[in-house]
A and B are shown apart, each in its own frame.
Chain A
Amino acid sequence: MKPSASLLFPNSRLLAQADIPVLPFDEFRSHVVHAIGRGARLAAYYGEPRTDGWIRVHALLADGRQGRLGWCAADVKDCYPALTPDCTAAHLFERELAEQWGVRPEGHPWFKPVRFHRAYRDGADAWGRPPQAPLEPCVTDFFRVEGEEVHEVAVGPVHAGVIEPGHFRFQCHGERVFHLEISLGYQHRGIERALVGGPTPRTLPTMETLAGDTTIGHALAYAQIVEALSGAQVPARAHALRAIALELERLANHTGDLGALAGDVGFLPTASYCGRLRGDFLNLTALLCGNRFGRGFVRPGGVGFDLNRDQVRELDRRLGQIFDDTADAVELLWQTSSVRARFENAGPLSRETCVALGLVGVAARACGLERDARHEFPIGLYQFAQIPVSTLPAGNVFARAYVRWLEIQRSTAFIREQLVMLPEGPVRVATRPLAPGAAVASITEGWRGEICHAALTDGRGRFAHYKIVDPSFHNWMGLALALRDQQISDFPLCNKSFNLSYCGHDL
């Protein structure tokens, strides 16, 4: 294995497509497997169609210790030896690659569709399904446990709460869950395919709604791509306002999650206060841009709205108040032994499993891993102002809840600090046409975890390919494994402790 097998670069650096090494497949495979074995992560792994009917497989390797991303590729035709047997983190990426481009990863241990759509390559189907047969979502094989008194519980797509659709299949023995299999795809809107040929006026709203609770996170990852491709220098004030918006998004969602976790163990005071406080945090985002989810705020080249002095003071004042109320509501959780006991005795995940699956975000930090893109691949304001990485080793619901609380405290302190020393100046610069024949990979730390976008442009500076990896794509399997040997009645609690996105996964 040569260390030079990948092109190494920092977050959101403009690259020439021609500089991405295209390796013979065996070399590509062993390079990726070795890099992952030595501590890198698979940030993205996807196929790009070539004109000659071949599919170019791209691997983006994230090495947090060096703060560098590695990019390498290999060309495949209809099948190749799967990476998953030697690199668990590739399991869902390889299924996705097969579904999109009809390329079969030979030896994949659990080879099923991901989103239930036809392949994008004419006539190709990795499962050999006839093109005229209807394609029904989640009508597929499920892992089954046989034996006396073993039973199966199927939930979804339409759930009891006001949430997105997905299908959950439990193999149970009494109350005990032997195995949970999660099958998604109901939310598939064909986003990646529609981005090809862009950017168009619709590209940015698509980024803002691909996972609507992560509007700022995804819009930022996209803006970083466009800025790299067009050589735009984002003004300092815009960087600061973007970081404030990203942390506000984290505050709103983490607070909502803590409230929902309290609700799932029947502790209503915190559930009821945090439900309201989440909305109060969303209103702070609306103070920035008029929309509670941050739509219209992040724009390539900067941000769409500035804050005047009064608005800065108002934001700081309200944030202080809301934080005090949140502290009051959340501390109740830790002071109540019945809540602690329920949190501590549910949904454990080992550090080894977390590393093998390549989990990101709160779920990874709650297994003791210092995995945070703001720290590992800092960009924008995070290059100059650090937020301590919040970790806890326990890997259970308590750890995932407490890491959120640590992050609420640190994000609030960070925002208030930034509001005092907001740089002066403009908040947006115009962007120029995008560089042709280029490649960019961008990473941001959304509230769920690492968001990765990767773009390739064609000869006219249009998107020839655009890849989106929502943190949920890495993490759904973590939830499935955290449920093993748990009570099925603890599913809502475990599920909320991950709180993953369906639409971000399904795209």
Chain B
Amino acid sequence: MISELPILNVIAARLRQGHRTMGFPKEPPALPERLRGRPTFDPTQCPAGCRQCAEACPTHAIDAKHGTLELDLGRCLFCPECEAACPRGAIRFTSEYRLATRRRQDLVLRDPAAAYPLAEALEITTRRLFGRSLKLRQVSAGGCNACEADTNVLGTVGWDLGRFGIQFVASPRHADGLLITGPVTKNMALALQKTYEAVPPPKLVIAVGACAISGGPFREHPEQCDGAGSLVPVDLQIPGCPPHPATILDGLLRLLGRLGPPQ
């Protein structure tokens, strides 16, 4: 029913829409059944000389030789091609959404049995500064608007980033760090550099998505820089194309020491 008084309509809609902020991180996030999260692999299954997964990979994220497999999640687009190409099911995506690491090399998986090196929290002094209030400036530098959109979605009522004290601010001078998306185009390199310099130290840099970590599908194009790491030091790497919002939020919270080890 529509009222003549607009405010009554607003209140009625408010009651119908209800409370929608999710229980994450106390409860696990609702993830799509077909989500392609962290891949598992079993090189013992690989037929001798088989390189079908590596050849199908659009970004050369897989190195297959001498019965070993090496997966670089920093380059991985989490597309279904390697899984589809493998004749033995030796490579498979799981629904594990927790993917963020502190160091670029931690994203290169060699030993399928090894524990995944999830991002550790900041050192105690920096954590004291940022742990309960982190203001970020987002810089899109060739991003396709998917990483941007799934970063932005964290600000909506469903995810409510503000409850963790994390907020995106309008100026780098008000920020504690940068969240960078995109491969960093040559045409954005100067703007990114200047924005980085405008953030007062100590400052953090977070690279979100395959592009910002490695150049993604644009890697080796002469018009871009193969990711943010070529210009600024990166403190947190969040892989994906784009990473699921839960992956991004998990990474941010881990960095701030707000999450324990994964169950």
Contacts and interface: CB of A to CB of B under 8 A. Distances in A.
Interface residues of A, number: 67
A306 B250 CA distance: 30
A430 interface: no
A291 interface: yes
Contacts of B138: 161-162
A276 B155 CA distance: 9
- Among A200, A296, A331, A337, find the residue whose CB has the most chain B CB atoms closer than 10 A: A296
Interface residues of B, number: 70
A204 B57 CA distance: 11
A296 B240 CA distance: 13
Interface string A260-284: 0000000001001101101100110
A283 B32 contact: yes
Contacts of B234: none
Interface in A294-318: 295-296, 304-305
B214 interface: no
A432 interface: no
A292 B81 CA distance: 17
Contacts, number: 199
A284 to B, nearest CB: 9
Contacts of A117: 187, 223
Contact of B150 (A209, A269, A292, A331): A292
B217 interface: yes
A212 B144 contact: yes
A201 B244 contact: no
A206 interface: yes
A279 B153 contact: yes
B146 A209 contact: yes
B59 A185 contact: no
B34 A503 contact: no
A325 interface: yes
- Among A208, A212, A269, A292, find the residue whose CB has the most chain B CB atoms closer than 10 A: A212
B107 to A, nearest CB: 18
B130 interface: no
Interface stretch (B10-18, B110-118, B121-129): B10-18
A190 B242 CA distance: 20
Given A162-B168, A188-B185, 6 more contacts: A190-B218, A206-B218, A275-B153, A276-B20, A293-B242, A335-B6
Interface of B: 2, 6, 9-10, 13-14, 16-17, 20, 32-36, 55-59, 77-81, 137-153, 155-158, 168, 170-172, 182-183, 185-188, 190-191, 195, 211, 216-218, 221-224, 241-242, 244-245
